[in-house]
């Protein structure tokens, strides 16, 4: 492989992993290459608008608009439902549950895909249905991995209403549960939307490393698997989907 191209690729990945951007010195230290080589590669990538100076600090560099444009073109070739169905259908059959894919719409979750696994007992809602995000595994999985500002803004707009005796009905309890989702990587709707149904969810990320959707698996409580066993199966499935959509991190949950 051409060494310069390999170094340019490495530089793009290093800058992509940085939350606030990197200086030239940071890049040199991270890559352990000569300053002249790093400068030449960085200058070329800036000229191509693959990397650009941060608008908050022009001594630091972030990914440029053309890198984003390439990512958009790639993602357009990967239908969210096509990628999700490849993984969730298999897991739904294994868990004997109904699988869903959902998107956030204001403070609601809209169901855009459904697959009833072999042996599933409850079909529950239809594609196109909307439910309050705070009362569903899909919604809590999505909200749990939003950044703090977006999460707080969303919670402040929720009109809490009890759907069952177990439904969360206040912001304090919801925030605590969303923190648990962030740590363990999966959510649980324990009869909060429907009395008989327990549902487990996990978030989906794309190449921007932002949450874009969620998956969930619903049915009655399993007598053979614990909540944690099911949840970890689902977060593993969500990570596979996210990786195929360009997500770069090794995991999204905080739990070791």
CATH code at 28?
1.10.10.10
The b-or-e profile of 166-200 (16+ CB within 10 A means b, else e) is: ebbeeeeebbebbebbbebbbbbbebbbbeebbbb
Answer yes or no: do 33 and 101 share one domain.
no
Q: Is residue 111 predicted with pLDDT exceeding 70?
A: yes
Choose one of 66, 90, 109: the last residue of a domain.
Answer: 66
Local confidence band at 70 (pLDDT 50, 70, 90 cut-offs): confident
Q: Which one of 60-74, 108-122, 176-190 scores highest in mean pLDDT?
A: 176-190
Rounded Cα gap, residues 79 and 92, in angstroms: 20
Q: Is residue 117 part of a domain?
A: yes
- How many domains does the chain fold into? 2
What's the mean pLDDT when you consider all of the chain? 91
Tell which wins on pLDDT, 130 or 124: 130
Paired with 142 in beta bridges are none
Q: Is residue 220 predicted with pLDDT exceeding 60?
A: yes
Q: Is residue 40 part of a domain?
A: yes
Q: Is residue 125 part of a domain?
A: yes
Answer yes or no: do 185 and 152 share one domain.
yes
Answer yes or no: do 33 and 84 share one domain.
no
- Average pLDDT of the residues in 103-112: 91
pLDDT, position 78: 61
CATH code at position 110: 3.30.450.40
Read off the pTM: 0.72
Q: Is residue 36 predicted with pLDDT exceeding 70?
A: yes
Q: Is residue 127 predicted with pLDDT exceeding 90?
A: no
pLDDT, position 10: 92
* Sign of torsion over alpha carbons 109, 114, 120, 125: positive
Q: Is residue 256 part of a domain?
A: no
Answer yes or no: do 155 and 208 share one domain.
yes
Answer yes or no: do 189 and 88 share one domain.
yes
User: Which domain range does residue 85 map to?
Assistant: 77-244
Rounded Cα gap, residues 158 and 8, in angstroms: 45
- String of DSSP letters for 54-89: -SS-TTSEEE-HHHHHHHHHHHHTS-HHHHHHHHHH
**Tens digit of each residue's pLDDT (9 = 90 or more) over 128-163:** 888 999 999 999 999 999 999 999 999 999 999 998
Q: Is residue 174 part of a domain?
A: yes
Answer yes or no: do 148 and 104 share one domain.
yes
Contacts 24+ apart (CB under 8 A), 159-164: 159/107, 160/134, 161/132, 163/132, 163/135, 163/192, 163/193, 163/194, 164/191, 164/192, 164/193, 164/194, 164/195
- Average pLDDT of the residues in 109-134: 87
Q: Is residue 12 part of a domain?
A: yes
What residues contact residue 181 under an 8 Å CB cut-off, 6+ apart?
140, 141, 143, 144, 145, 187
Q: Is residue 249 part of a domain?
A: no
Q: Is residue 72 part of a domain?
A: no
CB 86 within 8 A of CB 253: no
Answer yes or no: do 53 and 121 share one domain.
no
Local confidence band at 224 (pLDDT 50, 70, 90 cut-offs): confident
| Phi and psi at residue 167, to the nearest 5° | -65, 135
Answer yes or no: do 62 and 101 share one domain.
no
């Amino acid at each position: 492989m051409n060494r310069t191209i390999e170094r340019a690729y490495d530089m793009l990945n290093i800058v992509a992993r940085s939350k606030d951007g990197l200086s030239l010195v940071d890049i040199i230290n991270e890559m352990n290459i000569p300053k002249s080589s790093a400068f030449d590669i960085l200058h070329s990538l800036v000229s191509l608008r693959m990397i650009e100076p941060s608008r908050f600090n022009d001594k630091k560099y972030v990914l440029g608009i053309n890198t984003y444009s390439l990512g958009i073109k790639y993602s357009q070739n990967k239908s969210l439902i096509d990628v999700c169905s490849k993984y969730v259908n298999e897991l739904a059959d294994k868990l004997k549950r109904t699988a869903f894919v959902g998107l956030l719409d204001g403070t609601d979750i809209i169901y855009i895909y459904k697959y009833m696994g072999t042996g599933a007992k409850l079909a529950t809602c239809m594609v196109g249905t909307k439910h309050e995000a705070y009362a569903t595994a899909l919604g809590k999985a999505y909200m749990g991995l939003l950044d703090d500002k977006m999460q707080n803004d969303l919670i402040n707009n929720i009109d809490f209403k009890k759907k069952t005796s177990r439904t969360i009905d206040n912001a304090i309890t919801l925030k605590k549960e969303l923190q648990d989702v962030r740590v363990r990587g999966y959510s649980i709707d324990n009869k909060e939307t429907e009395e008989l149904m327990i549902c487990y969810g996990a978030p989906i990320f794309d190449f921007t490393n932002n949450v874009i959707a969620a998956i969930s698996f619903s049915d009655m409580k399993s007598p053979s698997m614990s909540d944690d066993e099911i949840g970890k199966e689902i977060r593993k499935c969500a990570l596979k989907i996210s990786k195929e959509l360009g997500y770069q991190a090794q995991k999204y949950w905080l739990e070791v």
